[in-house]
């Protein structure tokens, strides 16, 4: 066993993602009345679909087409680690965090590489390279390996403006590990380019109305954006007043995002970096209100981070004239 293999082997088990699934046939229940036998119940095979069932709990995770071939979470993560091992990245001190949601139907692992880190000009404000692997049994996520960042001071997961997916497929069979590993090694150069954008954010001041406009876009509050168009260059107090407008106050997400912005702008000054971290803090740590989301927080984090990336490209980078 070489040193890189040993380092990855020492990451431990995969926790709640360590289970297998089996395929079960589906049956349609039919009730009827026979003139001879009276009321009856029978079952009919549904040949087009099957159920994917957890082996350990017998919980049905999804109903999929008969030709759907699931990738086991463990196989996905072992493949990701094989790729990391083959790359030329410095994996000293690498850590892994694995999370599941939707009763295990979705799972991801985040690998943090502390030796690949940058400092953004403030004491302890370091961001390290991360590699994430995601997989699902319900068709929501393909097996995907991509890169991002991890900000140590606040434990926020950072997303790249450009979605740099190293690999994305419906299966792991026949995967050219070395080719994917080479792409992963190239990601370090891409990571350096992304950190230049983050540094530009540190140096870019953001007015209250601009911050509100960008956060309203993320929160999908068209009402707030409409109010802002009629109140250009307003003060912080005036911008906050928009949150109390009857047609805006119902958007709880916008209110939470604004509170994160106020906090981060005090810690980091009112800059694009503070605004970006307000968004990633909401995505990584923000509370949930819907009962259906409480047990699916891991999936919610990924969905929120995807929304942050979309807002970066559609709104924040163009409106602040940042160079992506």
Q: What is the pLDDT of residues 285-312, one digit of tens each?
A: 887 666 555 567 778 888 898 899 999 9
Q: For the chain, how many structural domains are there in total?
A: 3
Tell me, yes or no, whether 138 lies in a domain.
yes
Q: Using alpha carbons only, how large is the chain's radius of gyration in Å?
A: 24
State the pTM of this model: 0.79
Looking at the structure, do residues 58 and 122 belong to the same domain, yes or no?
A: no
Q: Give the pLDDT confidence score for residue 244 in this predicted structure.
A: 82
Quick: pLDDT tens for 63-98.
Answer: 988 888 888 999 889 988 988 888 888 999 999 999
User: Residue 10: CB partners within 8 Å, gap ≥ 6?
Assistant: none
Examine the domain organization and report whether 156 and 260 are in the same domain. no
**Domain range for residue 28?**
21-65
Instruction: For residue 86, tell me if it sits in a domain.
Output: yes
The pLDDT score that the predictor gives to residue 57 is 94
**308: Cβ–Cβ under 8 A, 6 or more apart, which residues?**
159, 218, 279, 280, 283
Average pLDDT over residues 141-159: 79
- Whether residue 274 lies inside any domain: the answer is yes
Angle (nearest 5°) at CA 24 between 23 and 27: 150
In a domain, 264, yes or no: yes
CB 225 within 8 A of CB 233: no
End of a domain among 192, 224, 251? 192
Specify whether 216 is located in the same domain as 303. yes
Answer yes or no: do 308 and 279 share one domain: yes
Instruction: Look at residue 324 and tell me if it is in a domain.
Output: no
32 with 177, same domain: the answer is: no
Nearest partner of 257 among 287, 234, 298, judged by Cα = 287
Same domain, 54 and 75: no
Q: Is residue 166 part of a domain?
A: yes
Structural domain includes residue 148: yes
User: Both 289 and 182 in a single domain?
Assistant: no
To the nearest whole number, what is the mean pLDDT of the chain? 84
């Amino acid at each position: 066993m070489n040193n890189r293999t040993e380092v990855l082997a020492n990451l431990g088990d995969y926790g709640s993602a360590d289970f297998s699934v089996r395929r079960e046939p589906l049956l349609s229940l039919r009730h009827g009345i026979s003139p001879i036998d009276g009321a009856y119940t029978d079952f009919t095979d549904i040949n087009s679909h099957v159920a994917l069932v957890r082996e350990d709990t017998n919980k049905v995770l999804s109903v999929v087409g008969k030709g759907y071939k699931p990738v086991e979470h463990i196989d996905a993560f072992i493949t990701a680690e094989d790729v990391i091992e083959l790359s030329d990245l410095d994996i000293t001190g690498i850590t892994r965090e694995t999370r599941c949601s939707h009763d295990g139907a979705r799972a991801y692992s985040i690998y943090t590489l502390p030796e690949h880190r940058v400092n953004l000009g403030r004491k302890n404000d370091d961001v390290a390279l991360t590699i994430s692997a995601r997989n699902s049994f319900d068709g929501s996520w393909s097996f995907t390996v991509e890169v991002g960042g991890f900000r140590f001071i606040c434990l926020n997961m950072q997303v790249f403006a450009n979605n740099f997916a190293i690999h994305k497929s419906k299966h792991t069979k026949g995967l050219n590990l070395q080719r994917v590993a080479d792409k992963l090694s190239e990601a370090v150069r891409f990571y350096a380019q992304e950190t230049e954008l983050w540094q530009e954010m540190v140096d870019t001041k953001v007015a209250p109305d601009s911050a509100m406009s960008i956060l309203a876009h993320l929160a999908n509050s068209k009402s707030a954006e409409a109010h802002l168009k009629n109140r250009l260059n307003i003060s912080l107090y005036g911008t906050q007043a928009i949150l109390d407008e009857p047609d805006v106050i119902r958007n709880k997400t916008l209110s939470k995002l604004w509170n994160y912005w106020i906090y981060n702008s005090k810690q980091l000054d009112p800059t694009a970096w503070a605004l970006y971290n307000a968004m990633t803090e909401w995505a990584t740590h923000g509370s949930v209100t819907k009962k259906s989301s409480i047990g699916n927080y891991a999936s919610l984090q990924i969905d929120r981070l995807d929304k942050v990336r979309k807002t970066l490209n559609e709104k924040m980078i163009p409106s602040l004239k940042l160079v992506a």
